[in-house]
Amino acid sequence: MFSKKNLCSLALACLLPLSLGATGAQAEHGTQLAAPEVPQPTLAVAPAQEPTPVYLDPEVIREHESFSHFAHRRVRSMNEVMIGGRHSMQVHKGADGLYRASFRAIDLDGVVCQVRRSESNPHFFVGNLIYKEQVLQSVAKSAEACRQGPFEPVSEKPNRLIFTSGRGGGWR
């Protein structure tokens, strides 16, 4: 007779070719046995919180106002001490006999201030001061007349300065 151990081995040996044969037959006919459905656990995923839009963030609005005042004071100060500024106007007589007076100045109407939260630390803010440095020139028949103007921009150079601020800590 067969022992229990031999009977189990014999039963497995008989079943294995049958299951392999069924899989081969299914592949030939394009059919497939349905696997028993096992319930999968569902995970409740919270919707991703999007950052508050800048125009709705009261801290960014407050810091933008603070930065705008700071930036405009800074630009006026830079205009007063600028090398080649109005206080050191250059006057030259051209080959055509006309005088040309020129100086450098920052376009105060074109100043742009941008404020955002720092990407690395949302308690800090980053401010961009964007401005254009212009060369203004006046042309007249006499040196005194050209010093009086009117002055027109003849060239401009864009500039950007970046400042940082802690929450209510002032701009530097």
35 part of a folded domain: no
Cα angle 91-92-97, degrees, rounded to a multiple of 5:
130
Query: Is residue 5 assigned to a domain?
Result: no
How far is residue 92's CA from residue 100's CA, in Å, rounded to a whole number?
Answer: 5
pLDDT digits (tens, 9 = 90+) for 122-168: 889 999 999 999 999 999 999 999 998 899 999 999 999 999 987 66
Tell me the per-residue pLDDT of 10-64, one tens digit each, with 9 for 90 and over.
454 555 454 445 445 454 555 555 555 655 554 444 455 555 565 677 888 889 9
**How many domains does the chain contain in total?**
1
Which sign, positive or negative, has the C-alpha torsion 15, 19, 25, 31?
positive
pLDDT in tens, 83-120: 888 888 999 999 999 999 999 999 999 999 999 988 99
Q: What is the DSSP string of 118-158?
A: -SS-TTEEEEEEEEEEEEEEEEESSHHHHHH---EEEEEEE
Query: Does residue 105 lie in a domain region?
Result: yes
Residue with tokens 């079943």: 15
> Would residue 34 count as lying in a domain?
no
Has residue 6 been placed in a domain?
no
pTM flag (> 0.85): no
Print the domain residue range for 125.
54-166
